[in-house]
Chain A
Amino acid sequence: MSLPAAVLASVQVLVMVAVSPLLVGLMRQTRACLEGRVGAGLVQPWRDLRKWMSKETLSALGTGWTSAAGPVIVVVSGLLICVLVPLVGAVPFPSVPDDLFVVVAVLLLGTVATDLVGLDAGTAFGGMGSSRQMTIAALVEPTVLVAVYALSIPVGSSALSRIVRARVEDPSSVASPVSLLALVALAIAVIAETGRLPVDNPTTHLELTMVHEAMVLESSGRDLGWLELGSWLRLGALLGLLGSLLIPWGIATEVTVGSLAVGVAALVVKLTLLGGALAAAEVFVAKLRLFRVPELLAGSFALAFLAVTASYLLVQAG
């Protein structure tokens, strides 16, 4: 393992752990402001997390080690994504590629862990949440991979760092139809993967409309803390990835103190912009019926496919 990559990875992990709860706080705050409320403040997720970690953890009869190990796996998968995805800088490890297929697989590992926690609870709601989440995850996968395929054609590699680096060197490529279509498709996929509106309502209290909440209904104390932190990390990392692809400026392409500082600052700015925009957009949309979600995902799939086609049609035209 090379030293610069290791330094960058640790910086990314530390920054994301610190920032992703704040990102969630920011999104809730944005929503509160638009609804005319004051809001709980940026650091509220951190307060919640601190409390969960020190609270008692219950495990119901019939639940096994899955319920205990699942939340930790979710967090680890979130942290691994933060290592693999170019957020602060695009300097990959030589032996572990930041290949998007690997990233998706690690992401799915977290999804599976959450799902098994939901199933292990042995309640109707847990199973319901798992089933829905899995259905959505299964249908999102084609969109993600085809969008990546579209992004990888101009670069000739599915390694994220290479895609991002190409964008840093030639920012005009961001505005090409290929990249825009693929990014829109990817954005819908990210929304579905992270359980935001209109696919899932993160603030719902109605069991029958839940997806993510239903799976974690049975978790308490630090289990809940890990699960929530994991989902925040995942949200942060995926939004950060969209940010790196959409606004490639500021990404460190070499590891120096200065470039890392710029990279961290740029990451915070990008997350603020994207998180704020996402939260503001969420105020205006209602949750889709579960059986309308496949339509949305098919739409994003069609966009991803168009991006691939467009890359054949139009790339050499330029």
Chain B
Amino acid sequence: MNDSLFAQLVSLCAGLLLLSGVLIVWRRSLTAQVRFLALQGAALAVLVAVIGDYQTSAELIGVAALVLALKAVLLPAVLNRAVARGDAGQLETPVINTTAALIASSLLTMLAYVVSRPLQAAGSGPAAKAVPVGIALLLYGFLVLATRRHAVSQLVGFLMLDNGIATVAFLISGGVPLVVELGVSLDVLLVVLILQVLTGRIRTEFGAADLDDLSELRD
């Protein structure tokens, strides 16, 4: 793979990652959010594969397959089950309205761009140029975590945050060692599964998984 093709593919994947992030912030339907999360996972997997191919590292290709399986298939499927058990096609009411969230996300992108200079300096080559995308995803993830009420959306935000961290890691250093990646992925999977079981239990007990309702459980 030559440099310019590599750069183009990286930029395409980065564009997809950003786009899916914004769409998750945009859409209020849980089904759509999960779908875009899957898209994001797939874009991340392709990104890893491209980097792997460029560095001719079989290990990275393996990681790519792992990412694809976990983030584009398994986690979305788990989340989908959680959504499907509630009423299908439900919309949620975020803490701040969508318009404000979207404008906030544009500003966060800019912020990511400004603050990522030291990180970019750590890496080299065309891939490092796209580092702000990872930071932006991380910030979007936090935004979603901070402004959404529904437990599934919160999971989506958490996973987006994780995707952001992974993106930065892959772009700067060509990824962490396979073992670490495996460990982190399993961790994430475990968290999601536990949370999913918990929300399932909460729903069967109380009929909803809206965080505002849950906060009343303290008493």
List the interface of chain A (C-beta within 8 A of B). 176-178, 180-181, 294-295, 298-299, 301-303, 305-306, 309-310, 312-314, 316-318
Contact = CB atoms under 8 A, between A and B. Distances in A.
A181 B106 contact: no
Contact of B130 (A295, A298, A299, A314): A314
A302 to B, nearest CB: 4
Contact of A317 (B16, B18, B113, B126): B126
B109 A306 contact: yes
B22 to A, nearest CB: 5
B103 A301 contact: yes
9 contacts: A181-B19, A294-B99, A295-B99, A298-B103, A302-B103, A306-B19, A313-B113, A317-B129, A318-B11
Of the four ranges (under 10, 10 to 19, 20 to 34, 35 or more), the interface on chain B belongs to: 20 to 34
B111 to A, nearest CB: 10
A310 B15 contact: yes
- Chain A CB within 10 Å, residue with most, of B10, B15, B98, B126: B15
A146 B102 CA distance: 15
Closest 4 CB pairs of A and B: A177-B15, A314-B11, A305-B106, A298-B99
A95 to B, nearest CB: 36
B26 A305 contact: no
Interface in B132-170: 132-133, 136
A302 B129 CA distance: 21
B40 interface: no
Given A303-B22, A306-B19, A318-B4, A298 B11 contact: no
A302 B26 contact: yes
A176 B12 CA distance: 7
A318 B8 CA distance: 6
Main secondary structure of the interface of B (DSSP, over half): helix
A180 B60 CA distance: 29
Interface string B184-209: 00000000000000000000000000
Interface of B: 4, 7-8, 10-12, 14-16, 18-19, 22, 25-26, 97-99, 102-103, 105-106, 109-110, 113, 126, 129-130, 132-133, 136
B126 A306 contact: no
Given A180-B15, A302-B22, A306-B19, A313 B132 contact: yes
B132 to A, nearest CB: 6
B99 A310 contact: no
Nearest to B16: A177
B105 A302 contact: yes
A316 B11 CA distance: 10
Contacts of A318: 4, 7-8, 11
Given A177-B12, A181-B19, A317-B130, A309 B110 contact: yes
Given A178-B15, A299-B102, A317-B8, 20 more contacts: A177-B11, A177-B18, A295-B26, A298-B99, A298-B102, A299-B98, A301-B102, A301-B106, A302-B22, A302-B102, A302-B103, A303-B19, A306-B106, A309-B132, A309-B136, A314-B10, A314-B14, A316-B129, A317-B7, A317-B126
Given A177-B14, A302-B22, A317-B10, A309 B109 contact: yes
Nearest to B105: A302
Contact of A176 (B11, B16, B113): B11
A310 B109 CA distance: 9
Contact of B109 (A178, A299, A301, A305): A305
A294 B98 CA distance: 9
Residue of A177, A312, A314, A316 with most partner-chain B CB within 10 A? A314
A188 to B, nearest CB: 12
A177 B10 CA distance: 11
B40 to A, nearest CB: 14
A174 B141 CA distance: 30
Most B CB within 10 A of own CB, among A178, A181, A312, A317: A317
Contacts of A309: 18, 109-110, 113, 132, 136
Nearest to A300: B102
Nearest to A306: B18
